[in-house]
Structure 1
Amino acid sequence: MAYTNEQIDALVRDDSVHKSVYTDPDLYQLEMERIYGHAWIYVGHDSQVPNAGDFYATRIGDQDVIMVRANDKKVYVLYNRCPHRGAKLVPDGCGNTGKFFRCPYHAWTFKLDGAHLAAPMKSGFEGTCFDPKHPDFSMRQLARVESYRGFVFASQAAQGDDLKSFLGGVITSIDNLCDRSPVGEVEVAGGVFKVWQNSNWKVFYENLHDTMHAQVTHESSVVAARDQAKEMGEMPLELHIMDGNGEPYSFWEKLDLCAYDNGHGYMEGIFNPGAAERDPVTRAHFEVLEQAWGRERALEILGMNRHNTIIYGSGSPHTVFQQFRVIRPVAVDRTMIEIQTFRLKGAPEAVFKRSLMYANVINSPSSNVMADDVEVYKRCQDGNLTHGGDWISLHRYLGTDRVVPGGMISTNGTSELPMRNQFRAWKQYMLATKTEAVHAA
């Protein structure tokens, strides 16, 4: 159905949302236009394309795109389409295209910035309006591309807030991730996990700051971790990060949940990998940071403990373990999660190995913890297709959120403030209050 703004507005209340926001294919298509067609969306990190010709092919909403390093050393983001017959120029994933793109269908070629280079049998175009200099015969660049500390974002809208303004308060999470390197730089390393979820893309965002689910949904992995620790006579970090989900409600109530404009936010860290005085990896990390930044700044950097940051529409950076869970919607009931792991340049190798361990234990397809989440996401998707009710409750601690500079903070760590904040942004996008320039050429 074609939704009017009045109908969209009625789907989101202060304390609840209609289940159709997760299940209606027509609403999903509108999200692709009004959210993913306008917002700044994370494409990838420039370390994934270090050399001229290197490309990383992925998606922004329902659009196939290519991030590529050109000969001028700049990173471009192009639609993955040949303007001749519309064929995708490169397959999904990464590689090196050489000095130019070459279409596998009819061998049209394009410079690395997308500009038309050549087409075979030029005599066949004589007497036509074919003009290789006309933009219709080049690969199309996305309207806007900006990079912040190596993190490349793109917007399909020609106008709108700049990237820093869009990110607002959560930009400090990207800063902290990079500042954990003694040279202030990170790079994607160790490969990328991919996890398919048979659920709507918004469910994952909500769950990232859902502190009420941890000890319930992850009971099996918590019990397994504690049983193993009892058998070993100790609780190593590999088990500790699983056991953390088993903290009582009183623990979660004390955590801060911070919400910003555009649906962003962060959750205070639920554990610290180890204080410098007792953990050799953290101690070695602290020492190199102290040499680079000084003791006070090093303590400040490692003292910022955020468990999950949400960049709405893009995914979730995790600063302590140097991850980025990139959330790619594929269909109204299907979502791809890409887990990127970062190496802190100049930091001890043990820090990177710890990041890989965390990715394997918590985020990988074989993770005991991830399987719990994937199961309940699917159950939410299935349950919302029944006639058992029409509304999703977001009542917890409604009306108690405190306004702080740049956003809001919860008065209780089990508040559903993050979910309410995300749907406030969802409504703004879907009512087209931010989409005047969507798809503008």
Structure 2
Amino acid sequence: MYLAEGRERPGRGSAADGTRPPGRVPSVVLALGAVSLLTDVSAEMVTAVLPLYLVAGLGLSPLGVGLVDGLQHGVTALVRILAGHAGDRWGRHKAVAGAGYALSALCKPLLLAAQGLASVGAVIALDRIGKGVRTAPRDALIAHASAPELRGRAFGVHRAMDTAGALLGPLLAFAVLLGTSDGAVAAPGAYDAVFTVSACVAALGLTVLVLFVPGRPVPGRETGAGAAGRPRLAEAAGLLRDRELRRITWCALWLGGCTVGDTFVYLLLQRRTGLSDGTFALLPPATAAVFLLLAAPLGRLADRLGRWRVFLCGHLALLGVYGLLLLSGAGSPVLLVAVPVLHGTFYAATDGVLMAAASARVPAALGGTGLALVQSAQALARFGASLAFGALWQARGDRFALAAAAVALVLAVAAAGRPRPSAPVPAARGGAR
């Protein structure tokens, strides 16, 4: 059975079984969105103050700060497939996702005791492992709970709620610092206050998961197949025998390798516009705000017009970002609006839509493993792309590096191909085109 096939839901559904009337997002997805919102509030509170804490609070060098930042981006890809497979093998995606959320929540109070590069780096690495553990099982829960023809909308609503947390987290951290600091300098206990509030919010998110997300077994596993029916990790490689899933994974890898990291986009935007250091911090929330507004509408559009088509169009928005940063002269004020809008549109059209498209090609018994496979390919490619872009920037300048990324992205989008101009895919196949 494929994730796309789902199960028949008699009647109009109820809160008890996590379904809603046809055309509406299931309550399970809304509950998982609330969990992600609270978890992102907690995570972004720490992210917002971490650079200042590392430099002003712990006195780390820029090299130490760079090492910690690298840990945040590189660790998650190492555990995604194992965590996704664990949820598949035991048929308990909620339990595996809960372990990831619990690990991240535990790391927040541990920051209170971390006093050096090694200890802070270890805590950050554990926090990112928690993120890697929870992502694929959580997305598998969303796919299992949603009707195939509404899966783009479901992932879009979840990503919108998740992004709302990313917007609220820095604001809450700012409020805590403002209330515990004296003047422009953070008081000695101000960072501890941020970490404490962050831990409480993370614990609240974990509580919502435990109380409001049902721990239903994977479809097809309710009949007590036992250990003999549990999928093996070796079967993950067999997933790529499916031509369409192999194509999706390959395209996620290639397109991810052409994606310039957010940090570089914002640094280039600052260079082109002369933005002050103080205002620079508003660029990520601006992108997140556009992502929040467009995630659900573009998810619905993907369900109607084809997920692969919307996914590729999202990369054209990213190409627009590259073009504006390449062709605009210094001091161009239009960039301050156009770049965040296009950047946020790119994420809204690709993040959840990719998972909706991949879920239509993944067997139910290997749902977490299959989605983690695509996620890991994309994450590793983006990590490599950031390293390559930084090296090109240092060797040949930022315009050369950006031009190379733009050319690579054009080739990748062209190679990804157009959707098949055939009749709409039946609901049993999830409408991924």
Aligning the two structures, in what range does the TM-score lie when normalised by the shorter sequence? under 0.3
TM (norm. structure 1) is: 0.25
Tell me the TM-score normalised to structure 2 length. Answer: 0.25
The structure with higher relative contact order (CA 8 Å, sep 6+) is 2
